[in-house]
Amino acid sequence: MKQDIHEYLAELEDIPGTRVYTTKRARKGYWVNQFAMSLMTKENRDRWRADEKAYLDEWPMTEEQKQALLDRDYDKLLDLGGNIYFLAKVFSTDRKSYLQAVSTMTGMSEEDYRNMMLSGGRSPEGLRSKSKGY
């Protein structure tokens, strides 16, 4: 019954355009995500809004992670260990919805992305596996 952990983890990396939140990513992005969590109180949101860079400097993150947060570069933040549910605290503080934030990662405009979702979403065809190409 038990799946081999190495095979399991290798398969997770085989999906196009997808960074599964494995423990490796979680460790890399620990402080990005803990920072994002801190925005769940109004007091911290106010401090963040008042001076984003100063607030970020309180957290032991890499400069690259800090810059990606300042840029709201969610796609890059996923590469740097961020997780969308944590990052949601950042875009919610910006008064942006999931749809607005997620659309920025697709190379599409918000309107085009929204229209794609209304006409049935993105087909999985050709996007299931990098190695098998289906």
Partner 1 sequence: MAHITAGITSSHVPAIGAAIDLGKTDEDYWKPAFAGFDWTKEWIMKPENKPDVVILVYNDHASAFDMNLIPTFAIGCADEFQPADEGWGPRPVPVVKNHADLAWHIAQSCILDEFDMTIINKMDVDHGLTVPLSLMFGEPEAWPCKIIPLAVNVVTYPPPTGNRCYNLGRAIRDAVESFPEDLKVQVWGTGGMSHQLQGTRAGLINAEWDQKFLDDLSADPERLRTMPHIEYLREAGSEGIELVMWLIMRGALGDKVKELHRHYHVAASNTALGHIVLEPQD
* Residues of the shown chain interacting with partner 1 in the complex, contacts defined by CB under 8 A: 1, 3, 8, 11-12, 15-23, 26, 30, 33-34, 36-37, 39-42, 45, 74-75, 78, 83-86, 88-93, 95, 97-99, 102-103, 105-107, 113, 116-118, 120-124, 127-129
* Residue written as token pair 């990005």: 32
Kindly state the smallest distance separating residue 62's Cβ from partner 1, in Å.
16
Q: What is the CA radius of gyration of the chain?
A: 17
Shortest Å, Cβ 5 to partner 1: 8
**Which residues 6+ apart lie within 8 Å of 76 measured at CB?**
68
Nearer to partner 1, 41 or 62 (CB): 41
Nearest to 103 by CA among 92, 85, 117: 117
- Residue by residue, DSSP assigns 95-107 as T--HHHHHHTTTT
Give me the count of residues in the chain. 134
Nearer to partner 1, 50 or 118 (CB): 118
CB closer to partner 1, 34 vs 62: 34
Least distance between partner 1 and beta carbon 112 (Å):
10
Distance CA 131, CA 12 (A): 12
d(CA 21, CA 18): 9
| Residue 11 beta carbon to partner 1: minimum distance, rounded to whole angstroms | 5
